[in-house]
Structure 1
């Protein structure tokens, strides 16, 4: 039953998230918001909604382990699993802007999360506000920079959504909201039951099973694009997702309900958060050595194998 709840929860989250993205973009066009701002803010916030709902539901249920595991595991999966597999299928070229804005911000919020949690084993409401304000400032800088350079990929914003009727937008919002609500409820409950049945912690389930599940849409999109020899999901999108997971998902969740580190899962601060920081940090030497601004198949294999090692250790 626990496995069915997890699978049903993940399915509802994927469907709900997809409808929410469509509704959000359609509504943004109605409100005359520019395509650039839609692509860099609305889409990013909407695609983080499944992780946000899961983390919030977990925090409200008193299982902060799942909230933290979901984000830490998703950030590791985005680089080790999604980027690794995509690079194995089709080598990725990297824009020089990567280490000008996105990578430093990812490292900054990753270290901020570590220090906030290490300080008193709690991510407080005030710390959540700091993370979220940092995200808003980062987006303002990014949007201004993109407007000046005109170097921005807007392919993910579907122009056809500008013509959608208000009724359709309302129905998409309704379907998306219902999907996300029940998906998060079932996923958190299923994860708790599964952890109890298998005899491992809620955190171990969230950092592996749930994290992989919430990364499936990105993985599917990347693999399909790579197999079609199209431009695969950009490194910027994955890094952006990692920034949003910490600053938006954990930031907003902790504002509503402080996230407490469970003393029974010391691996959160002793090992796993360093895996997350390590996967983020390794990207710069990977991009500069030996072939500059490219993540080729060998690097993809190294990332993927490292991710498998992490999962094996996490489930022990």
Structure 2
């Protein structure tokens, strides 16, 4: 029964996220906001909604391990699982923005998260505010740098036909998306806690594996479909951007609403180093042949490393 709650929760999160993205973009287009701004703000926030709702629900329910594990696990899955599988299907090219802005920002936030957790064993309101402000600064710099340059992924998401959607339909979509995300996050957290109790594993293991992969399903599906179609709809920069949003907005907003305490120290002594390691390995990969490209061989290596991480996480709990 616990597994059923998790499956239903994941389905609702995917549905809710899709409705929220479409309604948010439609609303933004009606206010004549540029596609560039929509893609980098509205769409990014909307696609981070499942992770945000799950982490917030977990923190409010007294399960901070799920709140933290969801974000750390999702960041690992975005690179190890999503990037690994996508690169195996179709090579990914690294743009200049990757090593000039996106990668440094992801590394700064990842290391900062480690020290914030280590210093007080909790993420409180002030620390959450600092993380969220860092996101605002990052977006301002990103938008200024990107003006006048094409953004490949936005064209796929920001469809001009969404501008013609009626206000009534937008409201309905928002209500459906909000309700689906709310119940989906509640059921997913409930199911994860029940599985942890019934199988005698920690909430950390469930959150950093099953829950994290579940909330990364939309990114994985979009990446695989785009790779199969040989489209440029997904890029390394987008996955890095998702990791930046997970730390700065998901944990930032959650910590501002409810403090996130560090309960299971393995999140700090083990898991977060895997997250930093998966992020750091991308720079050597940028320099190795073929330079500025992650092809099938590198993809296999990244995916194999992720499988090792999952095995060690479960077996050494």
| TM category, shorter | over 0.9
Partner of 2:230: 229
Structure 2 gaps, min length 5:
none
Aligned pairs for 1:47-66 (under 5 A) are 47-66=47-66
Q: CA deviation at 1:267?
A: 0.8
**Counterpart for residue 19 of structure 2:** 19
> Using the alignment, how far apart are the partners of 1:31 and 1:151 within structure 2?
21
Counterpart for residue 193 of structure 1: 194
Q: Aligned partners of 1:223, 1:248: CA distance in 2, in Å?
A: 25
The CA distance in 1 between the partners of 2:131 and 2:211, in whole Å, is: 23
- Within 1, Cα distance between the matches of 2:278 and 2:246? 15
1:95 aligned partner: 95
2:170 equivalent in structure 1: 169
TM-score, normalised to structure 1's length?
A: 0.97
Q: Which moves more between the two structures, 220-229 or 37-46?
A: 220-229
Q: Which residue of 2 aligns with 1:298?
A: 297
1:269 is matched with which residue? 268
Shift of 1:183: 0.2
Checking the alignment, whether the CA contact within 8 Å between 1:3 and 1:194 is kept in structure 2 is yes
Give the deviation of 1:233 after TM superposition: 1.3
Q: What is the RMSD of the two structures over their aligned residues, measured on CA atoms?
A: 0.9
> Distance in 2 between the 1:158 and 1:313 partners?
43
In structure 1, C-alpha distance between the alignment counterparts of 2:151 and 2:182, rounded to whole Å: 33
Distance 2:270 2:289 in 1: 29
Please say if 1:307 is aligned against 2:301.
no
Counterpart mapping for 1:22-41 below 5 A: 22-41=22-41
Aligned twin of 2:215: 214
- Measured in 2, the distance between the counterparts of 1:190 and 1:67 equals 14
Contact 1:87 1:299 in 2 (8 A): yes
Aligned residues of 1:76 and 1:276 also touching (Cα < 8 A): yes
CA positional deviation for 1:290:
2.1
Structure 1 residue 114: deviation in Å? 0.5
> 2:205 matched to which residue of 1?
204
Q: What stretches of structure 1 of length at least 5 have no aligned partner?
A: none
SS in structure 2 at match of 1:200: coil
Query: How many residue pairs were aligned?
Result: 313
Q: Where in structure 2 are the equivalents of 1:31-180 lying within 5 Å?
A: 31-147=31-147, 149-153=148-152, 154-155=154-155, 156-180=157-181
> What is the TM-score when the length of structure 2 is the normalising length?
0.97
Which range is displaced more, 239-248 or 160-169? 160-169
Return the alpha-carbon distance in structure 1 between the equivalents of residues 312 and 123 of structure 2.
25
Q: Which runs of 4+ in 1 moved over 3 A?
A: none
Cα deviation, 1:65-112, whole Å, max 9, x if unaligned, reads 000000000000000000000101111111122111100000011011
